Structure 1
Amino acid sequence: MDWLSNFWAVYSNLVLSLGTNALLALSIYLTLSCGMLAMANAAFMGIGAYTAALLTMNYNMPFPVSLAGGMLMPALAAFIIGKPTLRLSGVYLAIATLSFGEVVRVIVLNTDSLTGGALGLNGIPQLTQWWHVALAVVLTLAVLYRLRRSKVGRAFEAIKEDETAAGLMGIHVDGYKMLAFVLGAAIAGLAGGLDAHLTFFIGPNEYGFGRGVEILTMAILGGIGGLVGPVLGGVILTLLPEVLRSFDNFRLIANGLILVLIVLFLPKGIWDPARMRRWFKKA
């Protein structure tokens, strides 16, 4: 089994990144499934990462407690900013949540004594193990699966299809949108906490606009018609840079071209249950 040991020594961070990126894609899937184009997940990931790392480094908290804190803080932030921002919709909601991400970045940059500022935090203990990530992904999928098949999931779907009609049917639209927003923030915070204890270092530039677009792309690429889609999108976007490494300077061009082709020919993402059912019927 030497080959397995060698493989894990070289690619362990990449393999574990598959899980954390899957969690990030699932976090934005929640808000998309409720019809909200919220782009604050990168900021929530950053809040979770810094909170968990500081609890471990400065207060010697056990790893599970640090992860719980990394989920609680972004959930609390989502609840606070959700009150004014979730009244918006479409591109206005996207702009408002992107602005929140920039506010978080500026706060991190200007609190050097706590967050390390532009230099970031170094020397974070590497506590994340493969089974932590696997357990987090499995539990998140289990919770979201139950949620999707419950009254809450049906309310999310109704709000996504027609918010006005859902309100006339007696669905508490604002409450369900807040629930999706807060749960998505908690999952993004969990991914941030796991990632912080995996990479030794975190910095404010890791959770900016580019990361937010990447998280959204994962969900759109995989498809939001089910839970498999976001996970698949997260896996593809994590592996794609490695697969295209041999293209060297043309890697970003090839990456973008692949995404454009998928969006053009598979507008509902790679994992589209309705399309697959049609294929099976034809077969």
Structure 2
Amino acid sequence: MKKINYYLTLIFIILFFLFLSYAQGNFSDYTLRIFMLIPIYAIMAVSLNLINGITGIFSLGHAGFVLLGAYTSALLTLEPFQKEISYIIVPIQPWLLNLHANFLVATLAGGLVAAIFAFLIGWPTLKLSGDYLAIASLGFAEIARVLANNVISVTNGPLGLKGLPNYTNLYWSWGWLLVTLIAIISLIKSSYGRALIAIREDSIAAESMGINVFKHELMAFVFGAFFAGISGSLYAHWLTTIDPRITTFGPLLTFYVLIMVVLGGLGSITGSIIGAGVFALMFEYLRSLEEPFNFFGIRVPGIPGMRMLVISAIFIFIMIFWQKGIMGRAEFSWEKLLKLFGIKVKKQSLVDIYMKKEGETK
């Protein structure tokens, strides 16, 4: 079954990237932008799910790591002359002026900066738990946003950074999602991942079994922050402009990502991807509710913020009647999909595998 899973996954990835090649030349610009936003949100959701859903750390500081990744990569991809033109209020720091790198290096740098700050923040705050940890992590995200708004010689303050190269495309966004999935799924399936799940279920029991709870939680926190920084870089070069407004990198972004995670299923990587896709589509296509429209012949004026009201109402409905989310803690598997089509795959038992190896040695 492992070989079948491997080949089916490989075939799916090849076919999907062929589809991306077709979409690049045939879809409208608006559709392409939404199709690029889905994997960016998915990276944010999967990385937060590693922290909140897999490890059981109640963190609300994800927007801070996304912000760090966005600003780091933006400062590296902007040309020196663009930086000189952009920094009107206060000149840019001389050591930042000539820093320049390609998009790949800038994206990795954004992830590393987010991971370093996660280590520095996680070391003292992960000794807290529950609501105290949530408040501390939320405070970090708000401190990062306020600093971005006031350290003008580094971030350009409230003016933000504009004219970023439009590097984020279908291949970069979906490619980085693939890397994120491979890295996080490999971690979850390793002995470290099993330890993280044990910590989530009962940290006291896990510690009594010899698991270093603090060390594993810090590792998951740093690992998730790294990919949050990656998503920040992709998000910044998708927007092509960033600023420290509350609506862009404030607490709202953390709550958006949390909605994606809970909507898909807390603890399910597959659910995080589905939740991110559903949220991105709703967030964009419900934009029409904020413009005047006809409802059964009645002219309804556009109401600003109406789409978030609808999304919130849907979220409340799910929390009341579908508390585990779309996937719960379940994951997608080829075996389940094949069963839906009536195809049964014979599983080898441990005895069969042992007897086969014994026969080969003889």
Moved more, 166-175 or 216-225: 216-225
Q: Distance in 1 between matches of 2:283 and 2:27?
A: 18
Provide Cα deviations, 1:95-143, integer angstroms capped at 9, x if missing partner.
Answer: 0001111111121111112211011111111112211111111111111
- Could you tell me whether the CA contact under 8 Å between 1:44 and 1:185 is conserved in 2? yes
Q: Distance in 2 between matches of 1:242 and 1:98?
A: 26
Q: Distance in 2 between matches of 1:237 and 1:263?
A: 15
Greater than 4 Å deviation, 4+ residue runs: 2-6, 273-277
**What does residue 11 of structure 1 align with?**
31
Question: Offset at 1:237?
Answer: 1.0
**What does residue 196 of structure 2 align with?**
156
Residues 1:167 and 2:203 are matched in the alignment: no
Residue number among 30, 44, 52 corresponding to 1:24 in the alignment? 44
Higher helix residue share: 1
- Give the residue type in structure 2 aligned to 1:98: L
Secondary structure of the residue that 2:28 maps to in structure 1? helix
- Normalised TM-score (structure 2): 0.73
**What does residue 64 of structure 2 align with?**
43
Question: Offset at 1:47?
Answer: 0.2
Question: Offset at 1:84?
Answer: 0.7
Question: Offset at 1:21?
Answer: 0.2
- Give the residue type in structure 1 aligned to 2:117: A
- Give the residue type in structure 2 aligned to 1:257: A
- Could you tell me whether the CA contact under 8 Å between 2:271 and 2:326 is conserved in 1? yes
Q: Distance in 1 between matches of 2:243 and 2:286?
A: 26
- Could you tell me whether the CA contact under 8 Å between 2:50 and 2:267 is conserved in 1? no
Question: Offset at 1:242?
Answer: 2.6
| Count of aligned residue pairs for this structure pair | 279
- Could you tell me whether the CA contact under 8 Å between 2:38 and 2:280 is conserved in 1? yes
Residues 1:213 and 2:269 are matched in the alignment: no
Q: Distance in 1 between matches of 2:173 and 2:108?
A: 14
Question: Which blocks of at least 5 consecutive residues in structure 1 are unaligned?
Answer: none
Question: Offset at 1:160?
Answer: 0.3
**What does residue 70 of structure 1 align with?**
110
Q: Distance in 1 between matches of 2:255 and 2:329?
A: 25
Residues 1:240 and 2:282 are matched in the alignment: yes
Question: Which blocks of at least 5 consecutive residues in structure 2 are unaligned?
Answer: 1-21, 79-96, 291-302, 340-362
**RMSD of Structure 2 on Structure 1 (CA):** 2.2
**What does residue 91 of structure 1 align with?**
131
**What does residue 272 of structure 1 align with?**
328
- Could you tell me whether the CA contact under 8 Å between 1:225 and 1:271 is conserved in 2? no
Question: Offset at 1:71?
Answer: 0.5
**What does residue 345 of structure 2 align with?**
none
- Give the residue type in structure 2 aligned to 1:272: G
Q: Against the structure 1 CA distance between its residues 162 and 273, is the aligned structure 2 distance closer, same or farther, given a 3 Å change threshold?
A: closer
Question: Offset at 1:8?
Answer: 3.1
Q: Distance in 2 between matches of 1:246 and 1:41?
A: 29
- Normalised TM-score (structure 1): 0.92
- Give the residue type in structure 1 aligned to 2:39: G
- Could you tell me whether the CA contact under 8 Å between 2:49 and 2:268 is conserved in 1? no
Question: Offset at 1:273?
Answer: 5.2
Moved more, 120-129 or 2-11: 2-11
- Could you tell me whether the CA contact under 8 Å between 1:229 and 1:270 is conserved in 2? yes
Residue number among 296, 308, 314 corresponding to 1:258 in the alignment? 314
Q: Distance in 2 between matches of 1:77 and 1:185?
A: 8
| Percent of matched pairs sharing the same residue | 38
Structure exhibiting the larger radius of gyration computed from Cα positions: 2
Question: Offset at 1:243?
Answer: 3.0
- Could you tell me whether the CA contact under 8 Å between 1:221 and 1:262 is conserved in 2? yes
Secondary structure of the residue that 1:128 maps to in structure 2? coil
**What does residue 180 of structure 2 align with?**
140
